[in-house]
């Protein structure tokens, strides 16, 4: 049954983050006026008492659970225990108290890291359980996949309506550009822009460049999440992606070209590549959500680079000097 979101009280966990801000903007554009964003300083979602208080105080009709603790390969490798615990605890408490408080719909944003390491390309949702995830991402990916199991179980036993989405790697303006924890696109954009500004003759990149990835512009991901909140009752896993695959080596070449960096790229093959390939089958999203990505990859990269140069980097420089 389709829901008119402008009549609902909607809690967006992670609503102050990269993806969450865009989701909230698009909800407002749909006429939603009761959009509630729990802040970590007020609600530690890894604690059951805080989650119970969130439901009692905010009284949501719908929860869009976007909050996560995650980073790039390095951050995942350094924090496997924390990432498993935090993501598992948040989902477990939020779904259980959704049941207790009679929530109308729960939307869980999962992760492409939940797929097996050697999933056949393009990734189809039916392959989700046919193997173990890539090792550096496994604790995070399995915690997120466990939320799918819980949502499915709660739908069958308690009738909790839900949706479960598997967005591919996101990018866009407002992303995390901290080199210690960022994902590949913002890290490469920052490296190229910084090298260009400093007059450096090279940048360093992890791995061999042979792995492939698929990337989804943040606005497209936000639209897919909102469509799921409108129309999904059963938590069937749904990929959100573009179906376009690019090797990391070709990605570096493209970002260097778009930023104007002409120096050498030095690959450190002692560092991991991560999952060998990622590219999604998005037929289910078209069929169930009526959704497909709208922003072309080069267009999205240009917007991201422009944002970093005009907004993100000046802010980072000001913060560093203050």
> Domains (ranges, CATH) in the chain?
5-171+215-244+278-295 (3.40.50.720)
Contact 122, 41 (CB under 8 A): no
Residue 94 in 3-state DSSP?
helix
Q: Of 140, 154, 164, 217, which one is the catalytic site residue?
A: 140
CB 235 within 8 Å of CB 151? yes
CB 254 within 8 A of CB 117: no
Strand residue runs (E) in the chain: 10-13, 35-36, 62-65, 105-109, 162-167, 169-171, 202-206, 212-213, 215-217, 237-240, 246-247, 264-268
Q: Give the separation between CA 178 and CA 71, rounded to whole angstroms.
A: 10
- The yes-or-no answer on residue 140 being catalytic is yes
Phi/psi-derived region of residue 306, left when phi > 0, alpha when psi is between -120 and 50, beta in every other case: alpha
For 155-206, write each residue's pLDDT tens digit: 999 999 999 999 999 999 999 999 887 889 999 999 999 999 999 999 999 8
Residue in the block written with tokens 């989700």:
128
Local confidence pLDDT in tens for the 322 residues of the chain: 789 999 999 999 999 999 999 999 999 999 999 999 999 999 999 999 999 999 999 999 999 999 999 877 778 889 999 999 999 999 999 999 999 999 999 999 999 999 999 999 999 999 999 999 999 889 999 999 999 999 999 999 999 999 999 999 999 999 999 988 788 999 999 999 999 999 999 999 989 999 999 999 999 999 999 999 999 999 999 999 999 999 999 999 999 999 999 999 999 999 888 878 889 999 999 999 999 999 999 999 999 999 999 999 988 777 666 5
Q: In what order do the strands lie in the sheet with 35-36?
A: 35-36, 10-13, 62-65, 105-109, 162-167, 237-240
pTM: 0.93
């Amino acid at each position: 049954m389709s829901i008119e979101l402008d009549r609902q009280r909607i809690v967006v966990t992670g609503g102050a983050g990269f993806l969450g801000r865009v989701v909230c903007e698009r909800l407002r554009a749909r006429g939603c006026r009761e959009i509630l964003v729990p802040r970590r300083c007020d609600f530690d979602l890894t604690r059951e008492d805080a989650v119970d208080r969130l439901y009692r105080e905010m009284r949501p009709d719908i929860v869009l659970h976007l909050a996560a603790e995650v980073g790039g390969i390095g951050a995942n490798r350094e924090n496997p225990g924390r990432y498993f615990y935090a993501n598992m605890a948040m989902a477990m408490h939020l779904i259980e108290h959704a049941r207790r408080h009679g929530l109308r719909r729960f939307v869980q944003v999962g992760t492409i890291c939940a797929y097996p390491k050697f999933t056949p390309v393009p990734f189809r949702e039916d392959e989700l359980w046919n193997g173990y995830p890539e090792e550096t991402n496994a604790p995070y990916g399995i915690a997120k996949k466990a939320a799918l199991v819980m949502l499915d179980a709660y739908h069958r036993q308690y009738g909790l309506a839900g949706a479960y989405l598997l967005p591919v790697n996101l990018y866009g303006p407002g992303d995390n550009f901290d080199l210690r924890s960022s994902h590949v696109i913002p890290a490469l954009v920052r490296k190229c822009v910084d090298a260009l500004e400093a007059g450096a003759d090279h940048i360093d990149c992890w791995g061999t460049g042979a792995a492939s990835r698929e990337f989804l512009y943040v606005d497209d991901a936000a639209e897919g999440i909102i469509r799921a909140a409108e129309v999904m009752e059963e938590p069937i896993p749904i990929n959100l992606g573009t179906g376009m695959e690019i090797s990391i080596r070709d990605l570096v070449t493209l970002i260097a070209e778009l930023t104007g960096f002409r120096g050498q790229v030095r690959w450190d093959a002692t560092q991991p590549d991560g999952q060998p390939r990622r590219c999604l089958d998005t037929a289910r999203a078209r069929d169930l959500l009526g959704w497909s990505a709208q922003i072309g990859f080069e267009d999205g990269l240009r917007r991201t680079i422009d944002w970093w140069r005009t907004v993100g980097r000046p802010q980072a420089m000001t913060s560093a000097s203050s």
